[in-house]
Chain A
């Protein structure tokens, strides 16, 4: 390996289809639809009033912003599966987010003049809050490569471990549904009034969702027998093309994928499964499918591809981490979840898509792709521990 593999020891999550990792996974496999009418803030004036909203958290604490609450819920789930057995100064936190604490900014500007609210509006606030809660005193970082953040965060976390700057890293991504982001995407007309249909001929846009996903990472040699899987390679690349739209040729995404595969020393023939970004916007899915066909070449016909945003909505900063975790669970459980919302395949997105039902396959090596505002592209190469 060009870069040392890093163990993904365990994961925790909170999502619109399940309040913990087990519920998330079972929801994915049975094709649960996590989309509902948004209730937590006013949406009556918006074109689209649907999203992947988490209706109830197990423990809601007064005073914590919602982003922190989602993170704490995912962290509780993670810690129920693995302990942080390292000195606090050797435990790092690396989180990806597209929105951080922006809802606190809305409140601070609108009605709450407290210093606490103003500080919480900074996007890196929730990462600090999580580090305090975990007692982690190592590096604390916030990555914000828009909707690719949850992938980039895992890559930065792996770098911390390889550089011996930490022994354990709690890493992943999160974002909340709030009026700020709903209003923005609604104004851009990126949201669909139908349902999110990744790679479907009738797809007409995305739906937003919220969630948090965390994984515990360690150097592979330190992980012992405990692991969900390994991160073999990661890479990012800029489109340098447009502030809000993907490069129509997907050149940045292609560079990120090829570099991640090179880092992992994995050939296309070794890939068993692809978790696509699959937002269900007309442009994203067409660009992504074309890139995957170029990269996978003749293997495109035999490598299963799915996209889970039809079930969850686009959870932004959480999305890529949730998708990475899904890849590892697919390996462990021997099944690839379906692409909820995909019913009529788009001839322009010709891939071996796992559509309406789960597929019994046990992928060892998975590729996960992500794109985001600002021309952000990221790719992860993961190895599951399934046997």
Chain B
């Protein structure tokens, strides 16, 4: 097994682009808001007309990564790039719309077509209704309810045809995802791995409010992507009993970002320029996983 290293991290959150936009204290910056929503990225193209907001956030995170790494799209295209996607919550938005659409259909006797375009729009400042018409609907929307829809749109957009893993859960699942990426690289199944997370909350805000024992506000919509490549660092995957300093830092600066949190931690670590061992931890449903990258 060869070692790995993190070549770049792209981050988009409800606070803005990159970790530079993160406040010093997310709770204070939220000013009592429960959800800090991310803008629907304004990506052009016919294919994106029906794509959901969470899909577009996934694409935006990869674009942010490419900008940071000064890479062109052609440099990640093809079967030698693995895609590992993790989320705890992003599919909830499409599921919500699909379920609500049935209730609307039953009430109004109407069926509409299209997904993201008819959904409530979000801005950093809160929510506003974009359309007065019925919310997302049946035939074309259903595939977007699958957790695999976000990585599918990303894979299609960037031509990614390599190994493919999708894990569901919060920050500990992202630790699992990063570990999976190191295995794929170590076994030579790919030459690079994109590890992507997207989390959205706004559509299901009332449901999240009920589950407050699972997560603490502010819930910050986020998308983040790390590029892992072969390198000198050996990754050790193991349970962790306490949060690492990076986990605690992300909690304070970004708020609750679920599966995105370890990737934001990576971005903060890279921004600080630290050269020592990189200790990541992530917790979800009472389980804390850890990954340590160090040079032997």
Contact residues, B179-229 vs A (CB, 8 A): 179-180, 183, 187, 189, 207-208, 210-214
Contact residues, A119-153 vs B (CB, 8 A): 119, 121-124, 128, 138-146, 152
Question: What chain B residues lie within 8 Å of A377 (beta carbons)?
Answer: 164
Residue of B nearest to A374 (CB): B148
Contact with A along B156-179 (1 / 0, CB 8 A): 101111111111110001001001
Q: Are A244 and B95 in contact (CB under 8 A)?
A: no
| SS class, residues of chain A in contact with chain B | mixed
Q: Which of A107-115, A284-292, A299-307, A350-358 contacts B (4 or more CB under 8 A)?
A: A107-115
Report which residue of B83, B144, B163, B183 has the largest number of chain A beta carbons within 10 angstroms of its beta carbon. B163
Interface size grouping (class) on chain B: 35 or more
Q: Are B83 and A374 in contact (CB under 8 A)?
A: no
- How far does the Cβ of B31 sit from chain A's closest Cβ, in whole Å? 25
Check B147 for interface membership: any CB of A closer than 8 A.
Answer: yes
Contact with B along A259-294 (1 / 0, CB 8 A): 100010000000000000000000000000000000
Check A324 for interface membership: any CB of B closer than 8 A.
Answer: no
Contact with A along B104-138 (1 / 0, CB 8 A): 00000000000000000000000000000000001
Question: What chain A residues lie within 8 Å of B5 (beta carbons)?
Answer: none
Check A238 for interface membership: any CB of B closer than 8 A.
Answer: yes
Known: A115-B211, A187-B142. A142 touches B169 (CB 8 A): yes
Residue of B nearest to A113 (CB): B210
Docked complex Cα distance between A144 and B212 (Å): 24
Q: Which of A32-40, A54-62, A97-105, A359-367 contacts B (4 or more CB under 8 A)?
A: A97-105
Q: Are B88 and A163 in contact (CB under 8 A)?
A: no
Q: Are A119 and B163 in contact (CB under 8 A)?
A: no
Check A159 for interface membership: any CB of B closer than 8 A.
Answer: yes
- How far does the Cβ of B54 sit from chain A's closest Cβ, in whole Å? 13
Residue of B nearest to A146 (CB): B148
Check B98 for interface membership: any CB of A closer than 8 A.
Answer: yes
**Partner pick for B156 among A100, A243, A372, CB 8 A cutoff:** A243
Known: A163-B237, A373-B148. A145 touches B164 (CB 8 A): yes
Question: What chain B residues lie within 8 Å of A184 (beta carbons)?
Answer: 98, 138, 142, 145
Question: What chain A residues lie within 8 Å of B144 (beta carbons)?
Answer: 243
Docked complex Cα distance between A98 and B144 (Å): 12
Q: Are B168 and A142 in contact (CB under 8 A)?
A: yes
Residue of B nearest to A159 (CB): B183
Check B143 for interface membership: any CB of A closer than 8 A.
Answer: yes
Question: What chain B residues lie within 8 Å of A121 (beta carbons)?
Answer: 92, 95, 207
- How far does the Cβ of A189 sit from chain B's closest Cβ, in whole Å? 8
- How far does the Cβ of A352 sit from chain B's closest Cβ, in whole Å? 29
Q: Are A238 and B238 in contact (CB under 8 A)?
A: no
Q: Are A235 and B189 in contact (CB under 8 A)?
A: yes
**Partner pick for B163 among A109, A113, A237, A251, CB 8 A cutoff:** A237
Known: A143-B167, A152-B165, A252-B161. A119 touches B214 (CB 8 A): yes
- How far does the Cβ of B104 sit from chain A's closest Cβ, in whole Å? 12
Question: What chain A residues lie within 8 Å of B294 (beta carbons)?
Answer: none
Check A87 for interface membership: any CB of B closer than 8 A.
Answer: no
Check B79 for interface membership: any CB of A closer than 8 A.
Answer: yes
Contact with B along A37-63 (1 / 0, CB 8 A): 000000000000000000000000000
B residues in contact (CB < 8 Å) with A: 79, 83, 88-89, 91-92, 95-96, 98-100, 102-103, 138-139, 142-149, 151-153, 155-156, 158-169, 173, 176, 179-180, 183, 187, 189, 207-208, 210-214, 237-239, 285, 287, 289
